[in-house]
Amino acid sequence: DVGRGRGGTSIAIDADWRMASWNVDPLSASASALNLLDPAPDRYWHARVVAWPATIDLARSDEATSTLTAIEVHGARHVDRHLWPSRVQLLTSVQADAPRWRAVRTFDLDYDDEGKALLRFAPVRALSLRLEFHAPPEQREIALARLRLVP
Protein backbone atom coordinates (compact mmCIF):
# COMPACT_ATOMS: atom_id res chain seq x y z
CA ASP A 1 0.00 0.00 0.00
CA VAL A 2 1.18 3.51 -0.74
CA GLY A 3 1.90 5.68 2.27
CA ARG A 4 1.34 9.41 2.50
CA GLY A 5 4.23 11.53 1.31
CA ARG A 6 6.44 12.75 4.13
CA GLY A 7 6.19 16.35 5.19
CA GLY A 8 2.78 17.15 3.69
CA THR A 9 4.30 19.41 1.03
CA SER A 10 2.79 19.54 -2.46
CA ILE A 11 4.39 20.73 -5.66
CA ALA A 12 2.12 21.30 -8.66
CA ILE A 13 2.61 20.18 -12.25
CA ASP A 14 1.37 23.10 -14.33
CA ALA A 15 -0.68 24.04 -11.23
CA ASP A 16 -3.04 21.13 -11.95
CA TRP A 17 -1.36 18.04 -10.45
CA ARG A 18 0.35 17.35 -7.12
CA MET A 19 2.26 14.46 -5.59
CA ALA A 20 -0.22 12.66 -3.33
CA SER A 21 1.86 9.77 -1.96
CA TRP A 22 4.73 7.33 -2.47
CA ASN A 23 5.79 4.02 -0.95
CA VAL A 24 9.61 4.21 -0.86
CA ASP A 25 11.82 6.41 1.29
CA PRO A 26 14.32 8.79 -0.31
CA LEU A 27 18.01 8.29 0.35
CA SER A 28 18.18 11.90 1.58
CA ALA A 29 15.87 14.84 2.20
CA SER A 30 17.08 16.41 -1.03
CA ALA A 31 16.11 13.31 -3.10
CA SER A 32 12.36 13.27 -2.40
CA ALA A 33 9.68 12.01 -4.80
CA LEU A 34 8.39 15.59 -4.80
CA ASN A 35 11.36 16.39 -7.06
CA LEU A 36 9.68 14.48 -9.90
CA LEU A 37 7.34 17.44 -10.28
CA ASP A 38 10.01 20.13 -9.96
CA PRO A 39 11.28 21.46 -13.31
CA ALA A 40 14.68 22.46 -11.83
CA PRO A 41 17.32 20.43 -13.71
CA ASP A 42 19.42 19.65 -10.63
CA ARG A 43 16.55 18.00 -8.68
CA TYR A 44 15.82 14.27 -8.77
CA TRP A 45 14.20 11.37 -6.88
CA HIS A 46 16.54 8.73 -5.46
CA ALA A 47 15.07 6.12 -3.13
CA ARG A 48 15.83 2.78 -1.52
CA VAL A 49 13.47 0.00 -2.63
CA VAL A 50 12.79 -2.85 -0.22
CA ALA A 51 10.24 -4.56 -2.50
CA TRP A 52 9.10 -3.67 -6.02
CA PRO A 53 7.07 -1.92 -7.29
CA ALA A 54 8.10 1.56 -6.24
CA THR A 55 4.80 3.43 -6.42
CA ILE A 56 3.86 7.09 -6.66
CA ASP A 57 0.37 8.60 -6.77
CA LEU A 58 -0.47 11.93 -8.37
CA ALA A 59 -3.76 13.78 -7.85
CA ARG A 60 -5.44 16.74 -9.48
CA SER A 61 -5.13 19.90 -7.40
CA ASP A 62 -8.50 21.27 -8.48
CA GLU A 63 -10.50 17.99 -8.40
CA ALA A 64 -11.50 18.38 -12.05
CA THR A 65 -10.77 15.47 -14.37
CA SER A 66 -8.00 15.92 -16.88
CA THR A 67 -7.43 14.14 -20.19
CA LEU A 68 -3.91 12.81 -20.78
CA THR A 69 -2.34 11.17 -23.83
CA ALA A 70 1.26 10.63 -22.70
CA ILE A 71 3.75 10.83 -19.85
CA GLU A 72 7.42 11.65 -20.22
CA VAL A 73 9.70 9.88 -17.75
CA HIS A 74 13.14 11.49 -17.35
CA GLY A 75 16.02 9.41 -16.02
CA ALA A 76 18.18 11.05 -13.36
CA ARG A 77 21.47 11.98 -15.01
CA HIS A 78 23.04 12.58 -11.58
CA VAL A 79 23.20 8.81 -10.87
CA ASP A 80 24.11 5.63 -12.73
CA ARG A 81 21.68 4.74 -15.49
CA HIS A 82 21.24 1.22 -14.06
CA LEU A 83 19.20 2.80 -11.21
CA TRP A 84 16.52 3.94 -13.65
CA PRO A 85 13.45 1.66 -13.63
CA SER A 86 12.91 -0.69 -16.56
CA ARG A 87 9.10 -0.97 -16.56
CA VAL A 88 6.12 1.01 -15.34
CA GLN A 89 2.43 0.27 -15.02
CA LEU A 90 0.08 3.24 -15.37
CA LEU A 91 -3.23 3.19 -13.50
CA THR A 92 -5.89 5.91 -13.41
CA SER A 93 -8.94 6.77 -11.34
CA VAL A 94 -11.75 9.29 -11.76
CA GLN A 95 -12.29 9.32 -7.99
CA ALA A 96 -10.09 11.41 -5.73
CA ASP A 97 -10.88 10.47 -2.12
CA ALA A 98 -10.93 6.68 -2.51
CA PRO A 99 -9.45 5.92 -5.93
CA ARG A 100 -10.63 2.84 -7.80
CA TRP A 101 -7.60 2.06 -9.94
CA ARG A 102 -7.98 1.02 -13.56
CA ALA A 103 -4.90 -0.28 -15.38
CA VAL A 104 -4.19 1.65 -18.56
CA ARG A 105 -1.05 -0.13 -19.76
CA THR A 106 2.33 -1.50 -18.74
CA PHE A 107 5.32 0.01 -20.55
CA ASP A 108 8.92 -1.09 -21.00
CA LEU A 109 10.89 2.10 -20.44
CA ASP A 110 12.96 2.77 -23.55
CA TYR A 111 15.08 5.80 -22.70
CA ASP A 112 16.46 7.88 -25.59
CA ASP A 113 19.94 9.45 -25.70
CA GLU A 114 18.69 12.35 -23.56
CA GLY A 115 17.44 9.96 -20.87
CA LYS A 116 13.73 10.40 -21.65
CA ALA A 117 11.11 7.69 -22.17
CA LEU A 118 7.78 8.69 -23.74
CA LEU A 119 4.75 6.66 -22.70
CA ARG A 120 1.96 7.13 -25.26
CA PHE A 121 -1.56 5.84 -24.70
CA ALA A 122 -5.13 6.39 -25.85
CA PRO A 123 -6.61 9.50 -24.20
CA VAL A 124 -7.67 8.84 -20.59
CA ARG A 125 -9.56 11.00 -18.12
CA ALA A 126 -8.28 11.02 -14.57
CA LEU A 127 -8.42 12.71 -11.18
CA SER A 128 -5.64 10.45 -9.89
CA LEU A 129 -2.69 8.66 -11.48
CA ARG A 130 -0.63 5.80 -10.08
CA LEU A 131 2.74 4.84 -11.52
CA GLU A 132 4.14 1.48 -10.39
CA PHE A 133 7.82 1.31 -11.31
CA HIS A 134 9.56 -2.06 -11.69
CA ALA A 135 13.18 -3.17 -12.00
CA PRO A 136 15.10 -6.45 -11.59
CA PRO A 137 14.68 -7.84 -8.05
CA GLU A 138 18.37 -7.39 -7.23
CA GLN A 139 18.12 -3.64 -7.91
CA ARG A 140 17.57 -1.94 -4.54
CA GLU A 141 17.43 1.74 -5.57
CA ILE A 142 15.46 3.85 -8.01
CA ALA A 143 16.36 7.23 -9.46
CA LEU A 144 14.39 9.50 -11.80
CA ALA A 145 14.59 13.21 -12.56
CA ARG A 146 11.12 14.28 -13.68
CA LEU A 147 7.66 13.34 -14.86
CA ARG A 148 5.90 15.45 -17.46
CA LEU A 149 2.20 14.87 -18.09
CA VAL A 150 1.05 15.46 -21.67
CA PRO A 151 -2.60 16.47 -22.35
DSSP string, 53-103: PEEEEEEESSS--EEEEEEEEEE-TTS-GGGS-SEEEEEEES-SSS---EE
**What pLDDT sits at residue 61?**
85
- How far is the C-alpha of 35 from the C-alpha of 71, rounded, in Å? 16
Contact 78, 141 (CB under 8 A): no
Instruction: Collapse the DSSP code of 31 into the 3-class scheme (helix H, G, I; strand E, B; otherwise coil) and give the result.
Output: helix
Summarize the confidence of residues 90-94 as an average pLDDT: 97
pLDDT of 4 above 80:
no
The one-letter code for the residue type at 82 is H
Alpha carbon of residue 31 to chain centroid: 14
**What pLDDT sits at residue 52?**
97
Query: pLDDT tens digit string along 60-82?
Result: 988 789 999 999 999 999 899 99
- How far is the C-alpha of 1 from the C-alpha of 3, rounded, in Å? 6
pLDDT of 10 above 80:
no
- How far is the C-alpha of 90 from the C-alpha of 105, rounded, in Å? 6
Q: How far is CA 139 from each of CA 45, 63, 86, 102, 131, rounded to the nearest angstrom?
A: 16, 36, 11, 27, 18
**What pLDDT sits at residue 40?**
86
pLDDT of 1 above 80:
no
pLDDT of 100 above 70:
yes
Contact 33, 22 (CB under 8 A): yes
